[in-house]
Amino acid sequence: MSEATPADTIRCDACPVLCYIKRGYTGACDRYANHEGQLVRVDPHILLDRAKSQGAPLVPFLEREGEWDGKLGKETFLTAIGAGTTYPDYKPAPFIVSSVVEGVDLVTVVTEGIFSYCGVKLKIDTDRHLGPERNFVRTQGETVGHVTTAEYGSQMLSIGGVRHLTGGTKSEGRATCETLLDLCNGREVELTIDEGASVRVASGQPPVVNGQREERMRVGCGSATIGMFAKQWFGKVDDVVVVDDHITGVLSEHQAGKMLGVRESGISIKGRRSTAGRYFRVANPGTGWGGTDISDPLKILNPFKPKVAWPKLRLLMVSTTGEQFAYYELDEALRPIEKDLPDALRESVVRIRENCEPALTTVLFMAGAGGSLRAGVTVNPVKLTDSVKHSITRVTCGGAPAYIWPGGGITFMVDVARMPENAFGYVPTPALVAPIEFTLSKTDYALLGGHMDYVRPLEAVLREKERQREVAFSPANPWPLRPRKSGGPEE
């Protein structure tokens, strides 16, 4: 891996930067060092110990970590975290280990992949409008991603990707890489969106939008909320409007109200009527009620229809999280006058809030492993792609299950919250370094042209102990060393 030039300097060839590293120093990424003339991987090599996790309560991975005691066990999984890389990929992966599980010979190929084609998808549980779709997301003034299609109760950001890493200026690439690394390693990142909000996000933590910590994810869209709670409102109020930037619901017009026999109220909603009791675009997107820009819900109402409405008509207006609500009664001129919320309705508003799940940020790392990394696994790379596609080879990232996208290549996604902490690194090309493990039967490994001469028993690798650190396996994950059911699909 190294070549001496000059006497006390070695050259690292673990990535295209090819650092010259003086004795006692680390390279540009701080992952490799010159330790007494030897090139060494600095971080501990992480082993997952299943026995430690069984029967134990769920705790963060690193709370029960420690130096590896050399104990041999069948329930140990060698992750790629700290394993080193295969770069420049003509050579076999740093660890190719065999183990016998339930009488089946398995092989796990372990490497830290260098990913120029990678990014994260951020799922931010909030109704608040973060910014128009397609608008840029920035850190340190650099563009690092964009707003993508919103999902049910969540705003979605796409961060990173090869264009930001390699296709812009040097500082754009650097800022993108830094942002990805922080997000993947669970650190908080502040992002600003053009013509939108500023958000602070970290994996598994509530998002903070414009300085306000988000507590709840919406119970549903306005229409769904009407459907869920119609019965609880029936008889206690004459009409209900659930304000939502996407689909505002109106009880008296909604199918749920019709089926219960709710009387027409003469209410008239601004915006575009989609179907009965469901309205689009009642206001502009924003950070107010139900992801609209309004703080006064009456702004979405036209005057009540005089031929239908009646004085003292009772109206509840509520947002999709139940955090905002207002109760009105019509006066003689059919104008809504705000009153205290009756106790009979308070319960339903509390119920909406109760049904909201905690708002969280999810960081999904997504990358393509269908390139040269495959050569570290097999001399015939396309066979690895086929094997993964046919679920013969299981892909994990630091022991966490990876979702493989259908179609060509090995495009995978993994929830970083399921991985051990600080599983990611970087190289200044810039690119992210992520652990990836391929597990399959020894027979299948031979069939796909695996580097059979480099297969070592797991026990032998564990005995080396150097830099190894054991970490409790998270019981929330499926154990990665499971023999695949013969002919059956991957679970």
Q: Smallest gap, in angstroms, from Cβ of residue 118 to ligand SF4?
A: 16
Q: Smaller CB distance to ligand SF4: residue 73 or 428?
A: 428
31 binding ligand SF4? (CB under 6 A): yes
Q: Smallest gap, in angstroms, from Cβ of residue 26 to ligand SF4?
A: 7
Stretch that binds ligand SF4, among 16-24, 76-84, 346-354, 464-472 (CB under 6 A): 16-24
Gap between the Cα atoms of 94 and 467, Å rounded? 14
Gap between the Cα atoms of 215 and 354, Å rounded? 11
Q: Smallest gap, in angstroms, from Cβ of residue 432 to ligand SF4?
A: 12
Q: Smaller CB distance to ligand SF4: residue 14 or 48?
A: 14
166 residue type, one letter: T
Binding mask 363-402 for ligand SF4 (x = CB under 6 A): ----------------------------------------
84 binding ligand SF4? (CB under 6 A): no
Binds ligand SF4 (CB under 6 A): choice among 1, 2, 9, 18? 18
181 binding ligand SF4? (CB under 6 A): no
Q: Could you give the C-alpha distances from 317 to 278, 396, 449, in angstroms and in order? A: 14, 47, 65
Q: Smaller CB distance to ligand SF4: residue 114 or 219?
A: 114
Cβ-proximal residue to ligand SF4, closest one: 27
| Residues numbered 304-323 forming contacts with ligand SF4, rule: CB under 6 A | none
130 binding ligand SF4? (CB under 6 A): no
Gap between the Cα atoms of 156 and 146, Å rounded? 9
Q: Region of 462 please: left (phi>0), alpha (psi -120 to 50) or beta.
A: alpha
Q: Would you list the DSSP string of 244-264?
A: -SS-EEETTTSHHHHHHTPPP
29 binding ligand SF4? (CB under 6 A): yes
Binding mask 413-432 for ligand SF4 (x = CB under 6 A): --------------xx----
Gap between the Cα atoms of 201 and 208, Å rounded? 7
Gap between the Cα atoms of 163 and 118, Å rounded? 10
Q: Smaller CB distance to ligand SF4: residue 428 or 478?
A: 428
Q: Assess contact for 207 and 199: CB atoms under 8 A.
A: yes
Binds ligand SF4 (CB under 6 A): choice among 10, 12, 109, 269? 12
**Stretch (H or E) spanning 149:** strand 142-151
Q: Assess contact for 181 and 424: CB atoms under 8 A.
A: yes
Q: Smallest gap, in angstroms, from Cβ of residue 29 to ligand SF4?
A: 3
User: Three-state SS for 482?
Assistant: coil
Q: Smaller CB distance to ligand SF4: residue 2 or 192?
A: 2
Stretch that binds ligand SF4, among 15-23, 95-103, 195-203, 249-257 (CB under 6 A): 15-23
Tell me the site size for ligand SF4, rule CB under 6 A: 13
Sign of CA dihedral 71, 72, 76, 78: positive
| Residues numbered 32-71 forming contacts with ligand SF4, rule: CB under 6 A | 32
Residue 241: other Cβ atoms inside 10 A: 28
How many residues can be counted in the chain?
A: 491
Q: Smallest gap, in angstroms, from Cβ of residue 39 to ligand SF4?
A: 8
Q: Reduced to 3 DSSP states, what percent helix, strand and coil does the chain have, rounded to the nearest 5?
A: 20, 35, 45
Stretch that binds ligand SF4, among 25-33, 170-178, 189-197, 460-468 (CB under 6 A): 25-33
434 binding ligand SF4? (CB under 6 A): no
447 binding ligand SF4? (CB under 6 A): no
Stretch that binds ligand SF4, among 24-32, 151-159, 218-226, 284-292 (CB under 6 A): 24-32
1 binding ligand SF4? (CB under 6 A): no
Q: Smaller CB distance to ligand SF4: residue 18 or 260?
A: 18
Residue 480 is encoded by which pair of tokens?
């990665």
Closest by CA position to 373, among listed 118, 158, 165, 181: 118
**Stretch (H or E) spanning 444:** helix 442-447
Gap between the Cα atoms of 263 and 243, Å rounded? 20
80 binding ligand SF4? (CB under 6 A): no
- Residue 258: phi and psi, rounded to 5, are -60, -45
234 residue type, one letter: F
Gap between the Cα atoms of 464 and 453, Å rounded? 19
177 binding ligand SF4? (CB under 6 A): no
Q: Assess contact for 93 and 57: CB atoms under 8 A.
A: no
Stretch that binds ligand SF4, among 11-19, 211-219, 372-380, 402-410 (CB under 6 A): 11-19
Q: Smallest gap, in angstroms, from Cβ of residue 38 to ligand SF4?
A: 13
Chain residues that interact with ligand SF4, rule: CB under 6 A: 12, 14-15, 17-19, 27-29, 31-32, 427-428
